């Protein structure tokens, strides 16, 4: 049956458009190639953190507690040697002042090779002002050094037994001063697997869907924030806390309503709608490669630990706060991704481990690199808010006729509930009407006039029917804009 | 073969005189004497013919099988046939024909009465059928051949058919599992089999019960579904699961998670038939975490696959009433798990669980052939009287005496009565089917019976034991026993090792080779050291084990520890070098402390010290062929050749002694270099240098740094509370609890002999040096871990600080070899009150100095070069003046450390 159908359809296609359609449609792989970084079989490379050093060297922290030094990391035969061991679930590396800073479950520690044998000889505790209750979920992520010299660390909340007793500061983002003092900065985090300093100096983190976290998100961390999870808010009452007690957290209200009730609730810059945009947001990296990684310079790439995929985020500041859109980017990695980092050659290093959590893919751990092939994909480059709609920009000139036709787009909005249940469905869904689509003359952007925009809602756009000037559909026709606030002045042309 | 009675007596007397004089008895014992003594015991002559004193002990009857539960175990047909003619029913049995003396016309009635009595003992015959997979019997056959059953149970044609007619699965599996319960003789040993193996062998032995009269396999329907449980990392119900080998294969009585599943990484497949009560549209709802699939009539109905949290999927189809095939598969990756299947359909609108009676699976079946035996109470009483009067109870029920038989002393030394090969018609004696040589031997024994009034000498006892217990079915000793022409090819093992790899060891001189406690362990509780061999050493009672170990030692020369070489660190180092990859490469063939060899697995070298006598070891290493002819073990110190002239003095004597010193450390021996360790395995094994491992630790905290040293010493340092907490020897850590799945389990030491350092801080500031040690400690008392430095040997130096007293302590452990146990040197550098930068040179609380607490115990004693605690710790302190402080809870060993920088060493032996 199937065979017969194909036999009939294929010749027809050839007849209709032999010049274009005899080539298969491009896929993600056409533009971004996944390359294995081959490790010896007996190294369990469950990646917790990367440090990209010079001269083809990478340091990789593993969840088993080792740091491996990889020489010739971008070549065909990378060489592995053990750089450090005995660290308790190290989930991030940062180099500063000749030291490698590592965050482990219980401390921020810095390591150095003092005798030049490519092995760490000295581990110095920088800060261990938080303690752990002995629960597996008490991971610590980071460290990321801000422009004031503070190291930011996010502390997972426990999930289940706490054999050594409940402790403070779980579900917090803390900053550690250059003197090694911990300053608890933000409460309400759940499972904050990624923390990163944006190129402009702001601190962002990703969080994982679960109780009190309706879906995965990317949020700006500012001292005093509350991010929605009540687990650790009692710690706000301790004198060291820089975050005020947020008050009673209502169970089951829609997010925009909670925001009105709890002044310190920080809305995320981007919600990643569950299943559409991954299931477990993890590490992230802003593209600082110039144009060496393709047309997304300055944007943020976020790994997903379930979908074995990398997503793309574009942020803008509206009403004094960061918000923006996320887009699918590349899937098909070996397994769940924990860390992404730029390699020296402007490839994206992807560190993976799915231990303890299921993921797509056929491996359990490892490193892959994502390499731009040099061809530019047909993508929505940015989606930004206008007072009465959205502006889309494109990576390649688009067919203006297809851009100008409002029925070629669908837009709907929804929000989530903040509640104790694990994750939230999309609530209060509504269609947004696209009244007009006004393409720019160069075909590189279009302004959509919309009726029915709602603040505090995710706006999900689909644009399957628009085409590039040379006839290609969008590689990814969907985008998800988190419209916390609408801009007031029209910056459109 | 007949033996002349006169020469036999002489020989017996000679043996007795020899042993009484304390001379070594002749190693070559006349086999027929042994045969007669053994025959008298095994035929239980003294059960009826009573005797007193030493002779009664020496010729004590071997107890016959326990018949208290004969009813459930033996078919009436078997009992009847066996009583009427024991030899015909069971060739070779020692059971006499007790009814031979009963007049022929009464014999059939007597048999019937006895059957009614025996069949009533312990309940009805268990006729229940059992389901089985034909592959189980096949496994049973293989085990029966390979593990050693066949060495004693020679196959007489038709024996399994007779067994299938005699008994049932329950009896056979009981006997294999726990033979001592039914066979008090102790002759049938346990082979320490798993439940699965017992079942497989029983199913093999009873295979005839799995066929009907025409030889067709019996099949029956079992309620439930066949459940195959898999362990492995599956990410869907696809081919990986379909192709996996089940860990368990059984029958489930509901559609749900397999009983006893592990938390993560498993799968299950349920197969069978489902009874659809009424024709119509049926809806199935499959709920699972993670994925699952449902097939009905071999067509997919629900595809709910992939990784997900608990969720449901439904499938609807039209089904006729009656039985349909059903298959459910499910896998669990990580996190929670769930599996259920509900149905709804005509007359049943609400989804409901599927009742077990609606599920069935076809299974091969075993069915004992017996019909129910109706017990006639009159016949039973008659049988009970016969059981006593015929003397059955004298053998089968220990302590019940027989009636009427003359005492041993009163018996004529002639082949009359029970021994009469051709008894007169009116003889009432039971008939023993003895071969002529045994009969002659017993007559000869009776003739010289006074010679048996003294206990048998060691050689005789050992020889009889080795025969009776079946040792010689597998083992040769001094030229006798061992595999026969028939059994020789049946022993299997590792082909590459030739006969050494498959034949059980020769026991000649074993008492001079193995330590006495090792022999006892091998016989009594098992100590399998030959992984290359399929035959398993059975397990005998502790009494038999102790008795045999003692006899071997007395016969061959006991433990001689005089030859133990002097123990030095240098010898251990040399021994380690010679054993490893840069030496004689022993690890090419031998396992080491559980780590596989690089080739075929010869005996684990870490067992050397516990197993072998040093004298034997030293001689064996010089010339392996002298002790074990034909062995593959090379002669490393062949005369005149020094392969490693630079190790020690280069001589064979000192180098062999060094390997002994090293190997005698056993599991505590540092692993030899060159051993290949799997870095990805959960067992962390330091070979070349120390390894650090951070984890949650039982009883300590959520932040503990463990260090395993190649010297097979390990420590746990509590970084949360900044103190050294534990040390142990042997294996370091199995990291599964920290490295598997979501992990986060509390770790414990993997090795043995753990030792706790005194609780809390080792250093404190006290108002007065003898004040009570502070109750609060660690983090709460202000101590903070400051980091780790690795020294030139990559040993960790732990650094901690106490800000209030301006104290910094650096501490590290240097492991030491020791034969007596584990030994470490605890090194500390205490820096206190030292001016740094702008701090006042003389200021602060630190000016007073600190107290160091080295040990706590109920009692502490001084000895020649240090201190000893009541618990057996031995402590030598250097760099500080230690003193014993008596407190309310016991004693403490303390030293006062003045301000400044001080290095202190505490050698701890435990």
Shortest alpha-carbon distance between residue B665 and chain A (Å): 27
Do B233 and A364 make contact, defined as CB atoms within 8 angstroms? yes
pLDDT-derived band at B389 (thresholds 50, 70, 90) equals confident
pLDDT > 70 in chain B, percent: 93
Nearest C-alpha in A relative to B707: A86
Size (chain A), residues? 493
Residue A120 contacts B where some CB pair is shorter than 8 Å: yes
Which among A43, A135, A164 is the nearest to B679, CB-wise?
Answer: A43
Q: Does B267 touch chain A (CB under 8 A)?
A: no
- The verdict on a CB contact (< 8 Å) between B233 and A123 is no
Q: Is A356 in CB contact (< 8 Å) with chain B?
A: yes
Between B39 and B838, the more confident residue is B39
Q: Is the pLDDT of residue B811 over 90?
A: yes
Q: What is the mean pLDDT of residues B381-386?
A: 93
pLDDT per position as a tens digit, B574-625: 999 999 988 999 999 999 988 888 888 899 999 999 999 999 999 999 999 9
Residue B101 — pLDDT band, cuts 50, 70, 90? confident
Distance of CA B496 to the CA centre of its chain: 26
Substitution target from A85, A353, A366 for chain B, most B beta carbons within 10 A: A85
B307 and A422: CB-CB below 8 Å? no
CA pair distance B640, B622, nearest whole angstrom:
12
Q: Among the listed ranges B75-89, B106-120, B683-697, B841-855, which one has the minimum average pLDDT value? A: B841-855
A357 to B742: CB separation less than 8 angstroms, yes or no: yes
Mark yes or no for CB contact A124/B739 under 8 Å: no
Give the residue from A393, A389, A434, A391 showing the smallest Cα distance to A411.
A434
Would you say residue B840 has pLDDT above 60?
A: no
Torsion of CA B832, B835, B837, B839, to 10 degrees: 100
Token code pair at residue B73? 């175990």
Q: What is the mean pLDDT of residues A355-367?
A: 88
- Partner A, chain B 746-765, Cβ-Cβ below 8 Å: 746
B702, A163: Cβ pair inside 8 Å? yes
More reliable by pLDDT, A260 or B212: A260
**Contact residues, B window 214-233, toward A, CB-based 8 Å cutoff:** 233
Whether A125 sits inside 8 A of B720 (CB atoms) is no
Reported as type and span, the H/E element at residue A446 is: strand A445-451
Determine whether the interchain pair B789/A106 forms a contact, defined as Cβ–Cβ distance below 8 Å. no
CB-based contact A331:A277 (threshold 8 Å): no
Helix (H, G, I), strand (E, B) or coil at B243: helix
Lowest-confidence pick of A82-86, A477-481, B524-528, B534-538:
B524-528
Q: Is the pLDDT of residue B887 over 50?
A: yes
Nearest-Cα residue of chain B relative to residue A361? B235
DSSP lists the bridge partners of residue B481 as B476
Query: CB-CB: which of A106, A138, A422 is closest to B720?
Result: A106
Quick check: B743 and A136 CB within 8 A? Answer: yes
Amino acid B108: pLDDT: 92
Task: Determine phi and psi for B590, rounding to 5 degrees.
Answer: -95, 140
- Considering only CA atoms, give the Rg of chain A: 23
Overall average pLDDT of the A288-307 stretch: 96
- Which chain B residue lies closest to A166 (C-alpha atoms)? B702
Please give the Cα distance from A142 to A93 (Å, whole number).
Answer: 7
**What span, in angstroms and rounded, lies between the C-alpha atoms of B284 and B255?**
12
Cβ neighbours of residue B148 under 8 Å, at least 6 residues apart? B191, B473, B474, B535, B536, B538
pLDDT at B515 over 80: yes
Cβ contacts (< 8 Å) between A279 and chain B: which residues?
none
Average of pLDDT values for A410-437? 95
Which of A189-203, B693-707, B875-889 is predicted least confidently?
B875-889
B778 in Cβ contact with B721 (< 8 Å): yes
Task: For residue B491, give how far its alpha carbon lies from the nearest alpha carbon of chain A (Å).
Answer: 37
* Mean per-residue pLDDT of chain A: 93
Residue B448 is predicted with a pLDDT of: 86
- Min Cα–Cα distance to chain A from B791, Å: 7
Q: How far is B862 from chain A (nearest CA, A)?
A: 38
- Chain B: closest CA distance from residue A108 (Å): 10
Across the interface, whether the CB atoms of B233 and A65 are under 8 A apart is answered: no
Taking CB atoms and an 8 Å cutoff, what residues of chain A touch B789? 121-123
For residue A119, give how far its alpha carbon lies from the nearest alpha carbon of chain B (Å): 10
* Whether pLDDT at B26 is above 60: no
Write out the H or E segment, with its range, that includes residue B110: helix B104-120
- A-to-B residue pairs, Cβ atoms closer than 8 angstroms: 122
Q: How many residues does chain B have?
A: 910
- Do residue A356 and residue B334 have CB atoms under 8 angstroms apart? yes
Strand partners of residue A398 = A468
The encoded tokens of residue B383 equal 């049988």
Q: Which of A88, A124, A359 sits opposite B703 (nearest CB)?
A: A88
**CA distance linking residue B887 with residue B885, whole number of Å:** 6
A163 burial (CB, 10 Å; 0-12 / 13-18 / 19+) is middle
pLDDT averaged over every residue in chain B: 87
> Radius of gyration (Cα) for chain B, nearest Å?
36
How confident is the model at residue B845, as a pLDDT? 43
Does A82 contact chain B (CB < 8 Å)? no
- For residue B333, give the nearest of A85, A106, A358 by CB distance: A358
What average pLDDT does the segment A398-417 reach?
Answer: 97
The pLDDT value given to residue A18: 37
CA distance B479 to chain A (A): 50
- Interface predicted TM-score (ipTM): 0.93
Q: Residue A82 is encoded by which pair of tokens?
A: 């053990």
DSSP symbol at A191: -
How far apart CA B459 and CA B23 sit, in angstroms, is 12
Contacts of B741 in chain A (CB under 8 A): 355-356
Q: Which of B266, B690, B696 is most worth mutating to test chain A (most A CB atoms within 10 A of its CB)?
A: B696
**CB of A125 within 8 Å of any CB in chain B?**
yes
Please give the average per-residue pLDDT across A358-378, as a whole number: 93
Interchain CB contact of A87 with B (< 8 Å):
yes
B796 touches chain A (CB under 8 A): yes
Contacting residues of A for B309, CB less than 8 Å apart: 422
> For testing the chain A interface, which of B330, B336, B678, B703 should be mutated: the one with the most A CBs within 10 Å?
B703
By Cβ distance, the residue of A119, A128, A359 closest to B785 is A128
Q: How confident is the model at residue B399 (pLDDT cuts 50, 70, 90)?
A: low
Task: Name which of B692, B701, B744 is nearest A135 (Cβ-Cβ).
Answer: B744
Strand A151-155 to A93-96 pairing = unpaired
Residues 6+ apart with CB under 8 A from A372: A31, A32, A292, A293, A294, A346, A347
**Facing B692 at nearest CB: one of A44, A85, A107:** A85
Strands (E), B560-642: none
Alpha-carbon gap: A123 to the closest alpha carbon of chain B (Å): 5
Residues of B in contact with A131 (CB under 8 A): 702-703, 720, 779
* pLDDT bucket at A358, cuts 50 / 70 / 90: confident
Number of H helices, E strands in chain B: 29, 34
> What band does B16 get if pLDDT is binned at 50, 70 and 90?
very low
- Sort out which chain B residues have CB atoms less than 8 A from A106's CB and list them: 702-703, 719-720
**Least confident segment among A182-196, A447-461, B547-561:** B547-561
- A44 and B CB contact within 8 Å: yes
Q: Worst-scoring range by mean pLDDT, A82-86, A128-132, B367-371? A: B367-371
């Amino acid at each position: 049956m199937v065979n017969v159908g194909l036999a009939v359809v294929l010749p027809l296609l050839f007849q209709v458009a032999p010049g274009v359609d005899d080539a298969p449609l491009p896929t993600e792989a056409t533009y971004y190639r996944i390359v294995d970084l081959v490790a010896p079989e007996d190294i369990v490379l469950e990646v917790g953190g990367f440090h990209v050093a010079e001269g083809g060297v990478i340091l990789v922290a593993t969840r088993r507690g080792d740091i491996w030094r990889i020489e010739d990391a971008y070549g065909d035969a990378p060489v592995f040697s053990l750089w450090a061991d005995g660290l308790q679930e190290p989930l991030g590396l940062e180099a500063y002042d000749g030291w490698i800073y590592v965050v482990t479950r219980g401390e921020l520690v810095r390591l150095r090779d003092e005798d030049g044998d490519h092995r760490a000889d000295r581990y110095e505790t920088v800060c261990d002002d938080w303690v752990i209750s002995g629960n597996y979920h008490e991971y610590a992520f980071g460290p990321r050094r801000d422009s004031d010299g503070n190291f930011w660390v996010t502390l997972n909340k426990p999930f289940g037994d706490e054999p050594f007793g409940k402790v403070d500061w779980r579900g917090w983002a803390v900053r550690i001063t250059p003197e090694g003092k911990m300053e608890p900065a933000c409460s309400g985090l759940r499972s904050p697997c990624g923390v990163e300093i944006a190129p402009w100096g702001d601190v962002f983190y990703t969080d994982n869907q679960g109780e009190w976290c309706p879906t995965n998100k990317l949020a700006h961390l500012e001292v005093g924030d509350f991010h929605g999870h009540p687990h650790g808010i009692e710690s706000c009452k301790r004198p060291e806390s820089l975050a005020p007690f947020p008050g009673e957290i209502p169970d089951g209200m829609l997010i925009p309503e909670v925001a009105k009730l709890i002044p310190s609730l920080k809305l995320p810059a981007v919600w990643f709608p569950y299943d559409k945009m991954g299931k477990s947001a993890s590490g992230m990296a802003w593209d600082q490669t110039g144009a060496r990684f393709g047309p997304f310079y300055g944007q943020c790439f976020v790994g997903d630990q379930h979908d074995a995929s990398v997503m793309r985020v574009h942020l803008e500041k509206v009403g004094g706060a960061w918000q923006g859109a996320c887009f699918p980017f590349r899937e098909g990695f070996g397994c769940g991704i924990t860390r992404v980092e730029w390699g020296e050659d402007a490839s994206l290093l992807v560190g993976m481990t799915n231990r303890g959590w299921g993921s797509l893919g056929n491996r359990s751990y490892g490193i892959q690199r994502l390499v731009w092939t040099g061809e530019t994909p047909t993508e929505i480059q940015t989606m930004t808010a206008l007072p009465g709609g959205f502006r889309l920009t494109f990576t390649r000139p688009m067919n203006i006729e297809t851009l100008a036709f409002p029925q070629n787009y669908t837009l709907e909005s929804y929000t989530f509930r903040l509640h104790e249940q694990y994750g939230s469905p999309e609530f209060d869904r509504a269609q947004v009407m696209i009244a007009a689509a006004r393409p720019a003359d160069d075909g590189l952007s279009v302004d959509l006039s919309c009726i029915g925009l709602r603040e505090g809602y995710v706006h999900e756009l689909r644009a399957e029917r628009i085409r590039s000037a040379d006839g290609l559909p969008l590689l990814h026709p969907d985008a998800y804009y988190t419209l916390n606030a609408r801009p007031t002045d029209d910056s459109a042309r | 073969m007949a033996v002349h009675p006169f020469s036999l007596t002489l020989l017996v007397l000679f043996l007795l005189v020899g042993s009484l004089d304390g001379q070594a008895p002749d190693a070559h014992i006349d086999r027929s004497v042994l045969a007669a003594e053994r025959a008298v015991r095994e035929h239980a002559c003294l059960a009826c013919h009573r005797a007193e004193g030493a002779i009664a002990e020496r010729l004590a009857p071997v107890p016959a099988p326990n018949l208290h539960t004969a009813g459930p175990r033996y078919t009436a047909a078997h009992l009847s046939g066996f009583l009427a003619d024991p030899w015909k029913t069971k060739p070779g049995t020692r059971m006499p024909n007790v009814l031979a003396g009963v007049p022929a016309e009464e014999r059939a009635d007597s048999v019937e009465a006895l059957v009614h009595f025996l069949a009533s003992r312990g309940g009805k015959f268990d006729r229940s059928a059992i389901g089985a997979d034909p592959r189980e019997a096949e496994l049973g056959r293989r085990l029966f051949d390979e593990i050693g059953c066949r060495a004693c149970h020679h196959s007489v044609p038709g024996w399994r058919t007779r067994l299938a007619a005699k008994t049932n699965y329950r009896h056979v599996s009981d006997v294999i599992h726990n033979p001592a319960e039914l066979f008090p003789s102790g002759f049938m040993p346990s082979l320490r089999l798993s439940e699965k193996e017992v079942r497989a062998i029983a199913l093999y032995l009873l295979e005839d019960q799995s066929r009907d009269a025409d030889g067709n396999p019996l099949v029956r329907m079992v309620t439930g579904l066949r459940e195959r449980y898999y362990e492995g990392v599956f990410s869907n119900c696809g081919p990986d699961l379909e192709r996996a080998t089940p860990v368990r294969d059984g029958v489930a009585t509901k559609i749900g998670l397999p009983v006893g599943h592990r938390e993560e990484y498993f799968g299950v497949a349920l197969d069978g038939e489902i009874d659809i009560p009424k024709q119509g549209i049926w809806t199935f709802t499959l709920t699972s975490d993670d994925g699952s699939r449902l097939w009905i009539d071999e067509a997919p109905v629900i595809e709910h696959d992939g990784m997900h949290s608990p969720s449901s999927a439904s499938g609807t189809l039209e089904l006729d009433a009656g039985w349909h095939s059903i298959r459910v598969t499910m896998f669990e990756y990580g996190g929670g798990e769930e599996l259920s299947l509900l149905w709804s359909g005509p007359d049943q609108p609400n989804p409901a669980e599927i009742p077990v009676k609606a599920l069935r699976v076809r299974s091969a079946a075993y069915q004992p052939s017996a019909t129910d035996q109706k017990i006639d109470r009159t016949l039973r009483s008659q049988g009970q009287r016969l059981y006593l009067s015929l003397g059955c109870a004298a053998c089968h029920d220990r302590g019940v005496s027989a009636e009427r038989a003359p005492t041993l002393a009163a018996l004529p030394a002639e082949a009359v009565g029970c021994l009469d090969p051709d008894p007169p018609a009116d003889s009432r004696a039971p008939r023993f089917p003895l071969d002529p040589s045994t009969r002659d031997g017993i007559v000869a024994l009776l003739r010289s019976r006074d010679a048996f009034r003294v206990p048998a000498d060691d050689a005789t006892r050992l020889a009889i034991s080795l025969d009776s217990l079946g040792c010689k079915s597998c083992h040769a000793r001094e030229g006798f026993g061992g595999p026969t022409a028939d059994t020789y090819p049946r022993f299997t093992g590792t082909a590459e090792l030739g006969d050494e790899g498959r034949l059980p060891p020769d026991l000649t001189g074993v008492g001079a080779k193995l330590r006495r406690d090792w022999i006892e362990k091998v016989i009594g509780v098992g100590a399998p050291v030959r992984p290359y061999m399929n035959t398993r050493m059975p397990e005998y009672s502790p009494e038999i084990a102790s008795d045999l170990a003692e006899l071997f030692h007395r016969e061959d020369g006991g433990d001689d520890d005089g030859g133990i070489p002097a123990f030095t660190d240098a010898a251990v180092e040399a021994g380690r070098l010679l054993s490893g990859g840069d030496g004689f490469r022993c690890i090419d063939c031998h396992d080491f402390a559980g780590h596989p060899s690089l080739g075929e697995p010869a005996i684990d070298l870490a067992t050397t010290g516990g197993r072998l006598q040093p004298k034997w070891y030293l001689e064996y290493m010089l010339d392996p062929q002298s002790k074990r002819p034909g062995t593959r073990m090379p002669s490393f110190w062949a005369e005149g050749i020094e392969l490693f002239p630079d190790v020690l003095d280069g001589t064979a004597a000192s180098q062999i002694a060094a390997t002994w010193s090293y190997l005698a450390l056993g599991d505590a021996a540092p692993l030899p270099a060159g051993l290949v360790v799997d870095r990805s395995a959960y067992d962390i094994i330091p070979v070349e240098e120390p390894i650090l491992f951070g984890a949650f630790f039982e009883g300590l905290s959520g932040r503990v740094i463990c260090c395993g040293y190649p010297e097979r010493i390990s420590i746990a340092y509590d970084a949360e509370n900044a103190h050294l907490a534990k040390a142990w020897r042997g294996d370091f850590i199995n990291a599964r609890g920290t490295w598997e799945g979501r992990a986060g389990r509390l770790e414990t030491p993997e090795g043995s002999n753990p030792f706790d350092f005194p609780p809390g801080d080792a250093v404190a500031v006290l108002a007065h040096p003898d004040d009570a040690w502070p109750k609060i400690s660690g983090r709460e008392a202000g101590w903070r871990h400051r980091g780790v430095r690795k020294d030139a040997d990559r040993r960790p130096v732990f650094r901690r600080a106490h800000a209030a007293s301006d104290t910094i302590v650096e501490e590290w452990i240097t492991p030491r070899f020791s034969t007596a146990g584990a030994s470490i040197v605890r090194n500390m550098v205490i820096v206190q009150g030292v001016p740094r930068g702008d701090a006042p040179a003389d200021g602060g609380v630190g000016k007073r100095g600190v107290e160091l607490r080295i040990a706590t115990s109920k009692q502490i004693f001084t000895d020649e070069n240090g201190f000893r605690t009541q618990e057996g710790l031995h402590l030598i302190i250097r760099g500080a003046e230690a003193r014993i402080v008596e407190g309310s809870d016991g004693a403490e060993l303390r030293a006062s450390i003045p301000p400044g920088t001080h290095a202190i060493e505490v050698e701890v032996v435990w």
